[in-house]
Structure 1
Amino acid sequence: MNVLAFDIETVPDLAGGRRVYGLGELGDEDVARAMAARRRQETGREFPRIHLHRVVAISLAGVVGDRFRVWSLGEVDDAEPALLQRFFEGLERYVPDLVSWNGTGFDMPVLHHRALIHGISAPRYWETGDSDRSFRFNNYLNRYHDRHTDLMDVLASFQPRAAAPLDEVATLCGLPGKMGMSGASVAEAVDRGEIEAVRNYCETDVLNTYLLYLRFQHFRGVLDADGYERETRKVADALAATDRTHLRSFLEAWRGA
C-alpha cells in the first residue's frame, strides 16, 4: 500500500490580489499591505482567503511500495502550476492513501482553488465510484473515508473546538515538532529567495505528520507493537542514511526527545 503524508507552504497571491481587488499598477509591497489591511478589517487577522494563497512548496513523507522517503515536489525554481501538476499526477499514478494535519480545512481547499485557476486536470482525485467502484465507499473527498485521513480532524472527533496544533501534539508524543521556521515566516523567507529552506521546513512538518500517523495506526490496532516498531525504524533508518542536513537534524532531535 502507498501511504503519503503531505503538507503545503503558501504565500499571499499578490498578482491575484491585484486583479481581484482592482489594485491596478500598485507595487507588490503596496498590494501586500492592501490585502493584509482588507483581511484585518474583515476578520481581525491578516491570513489571506483560501483562494488567494499561492503554493510555493508541496512536501511528502511516507511509503511507496515498501520504501520510505521524504521529499518535496519539483525543483526549487518551479512555478506553482508545475507543483500542482506533479501532485495530482502522483495521485493519478500511485493512488496513495493521503495523510495530513488540517488538510481538509486548509491544504486541499487551497489545492482545489489553485488547480482550478491553473487548469489542472485530476480525474482520479475526484473519482467517487462512477468509473471505479472501489472509490464508492473510500475516496479522497469524503471526510470520513480513509483515502485521505486528516489526523487533526479525526483526533478531534471532527469537532473544530477540539482541534490541536501539529507542533504541540508532535512534541507531546516525543517528536521534534516545528523546526527551522514557522508558517508565519514563510513569506519573508520566499521574499529573500530562501525557497530551499521553506521546502526543508515543510519536509520536517510532514515527517511529524507521518510519524503521528504511525502512532495513530497503532492506537486503532492497524499496527501491533512489532509493526509500529518496524515502521518507525524504517523512517529512522532512512533518515540516518541521508546526507541532507535538515533530515539528520530531525533524526537527532527525535532521538533526543
Structure 2
Amino acid sequence: MNVLVFDIETIPDVDGGRRLYDLDGLSDKEVANILFHKRRQQTGNEFLRLHLHRVVAISAVLRHGEDQFKVWSLGDPDASEKELVQRFYDGLDRFTPTLVSWNGSGFDLPVLHYRALVHGIQAPRYWDSGDDDREFRWNNYLNRYHSRHLDLMDVLAAYQPRANAPLDEIATLLGFPGKMGMSGAKVWDTFQAGDIEDIRNYCETDVLNTYLVYLRFELMRGQLMPQAYEAECRRVREKLEEEGKPHFREFLAHWKSPPEPSPSLGTTENTECSRD
C-alpha cells in the first residue's frame, strides 16, 4: 500500500486580483471584497474561479510500506505558497503514490495546476502520460478514469455531478467526525485573523476523514477484508493517540459509532472503526 490522501485550503489570490483588475493601492481585504463582489454579480455566490485561489495549506495522510502511517501539513506555517506546492509535487516524485482526494479532480488538482504555473514549478512525474514511463500511458494522474488518482466524490457519484455529496455528510453518516465546526468558508476570515495553525489543523482533520472514507470504500470493493479494515482503523486511532495533539484528540472524541454497522464487521461494540 502506497497511498497519499491530500487536501488543500485556499484564500483569494489578492496579488492576482490586483494585476487583473488594476487594484494597486488597495488592502488585501479590499481586493478580496472586490473579487467576491464580482463573483456574486456573475453567479450569485462568492466562490471564486479556481485560478483566483491561493494555496495556504496542504495536508496529507501517507500510508506506505507494511505499517507506516503519517498525517501532517506540508512545510512550516510561514512557508510560501511556492514551497507548499513544490513539496506536494516533490512527494509524488519520491513515492509515486496512489493519490486519494474528495473532489480533487474538480478543485484541488486544478488549483494546484494553476499555482504551479504561476510559480514556474516543475512536476515531470505528475504530468507524465506515458512519454517517460510507459506504465503511465495506461495509468496516470491526469486521466479521470485511471486509478493513480482516486477522487472518491467523483467515483462514488458514478461521475454524475448531480449525485455529488459533501465529505462532511458522508463522513458523519459513517460515524466519522466530519467538519467539527470548521469549514472551507471560514478559511479566509481565519487567515486574516492570523490563525494559520487553525487552518492547517482543520486541513489535517479533513484528510483524516477522507482516509477513513477511503478505507470504507476499499472494504466495499473488496480490496480490504474486514480484518484488514479493522487493523487500518486501529492504526489510525493509535497514531492519533500517540501524537496527542489537541485537534487529534478532538477528532478521536468525535469518532462515533455508525447507526447501522455492517453485519460483516460484527456489532458496534467490537468494531475498531466505531467509537463507544
Map of 2:99 onto structure 1: 98
The secondary structure found in structure 2 opposite 1:254 is coil
Name the aligned partner's letter for residue 30 of structure 1: E
Would the aligned equivalents of 1:180 and 1:201 in 2 still touch at CA under 8 Å? Answer: no
Q: Deviations over 1:82-132 (max 9, x none)?
A: 100100000011111110000000000000000100000000001111111
Aligned to 1:51: 51
State the match for 2:214 in structure 1. 213
Aligned to 1:63: 63
Match of 1:28 in 2: 28
Aligned positions of 1:1-257 closer than 5 A: 1-65=1-65, 66-255=67-256, 256=275
Question: How many angstroms does 1:240 deviate by?
Answer: 1.4
Indicate the SS of the match to 2:212: helix
User: 1:129-160: CA deviations, max 9, x gaps?
Assistant: 11111111111011111111000000000000
Q: What SS does the corresponding residue of 1:61 show, helix, strand or coil?
A: strand
Question: Cα distance, 1:26 vs. partner?
Answer: 2.0
Higher RCO by CA contacts (8 Å cutoff, separation 6 or greater): 1
Say which SS state the counterpart of residue 236 (structure 2) adopts: helix
Listed one character per residue, the Cα deviations across residues 193-244 of structure 1 (whole Å, up to 9, x for unaligned) are 1000100000000000000000000000001111111111111111111121
Deviation at 1:62, TM superposition (A): 3.2
Instruction: Name the TM-score, length of structure 2 as normaliser.
Output: 0.91
Aligned length: 257
Q: CA deviation at 1:28?
A: 2.0
Query: How many Å separate the matches in 1 of 2:156 and 2:198?
Result: 30
CA distance in 1, matches of 2:145, 2:112: 20
| Deviation for aligned residue 1:179 | 2.1
Question: What are the superposed Cα offsets for residues 12-44 of structure 1, whole Å, 9 maximum, x if unpaired?
Answer: 011110101122322222211211111011111
Write the distance in 2 (CA, Å) between the matches of 1:198 and 1:29. 18
What SS is found at the alignment partner of 1:31?
helix
| Unmatched tracts of structure 2, length 5 or more | 257-274
Give the Cα separation in 1 of the matches to 2:8 and 2:186.
14
SS of residue matched to 1:6? strand
Task: Report the Cα offset of residue 69 of structure 1.
Answer: 1.2
1:13/1:53 contact within 8 Å kept: yes
SS in 1 for 2:82: helix
Please give the alpha-carbon distance, in whole angstroms, between the structure 2 residues aligned to 1:231 and 1:57: 26
SS of the residue aligned with 2:255? Answer: helix
Cα shift at 1:180 = 4.3
Identity score, percent: 62
Root mean square deviation, CA, Å:
1.1
Q: Is the 8 A contact 1:62 1:210 kept in 2?
A: no
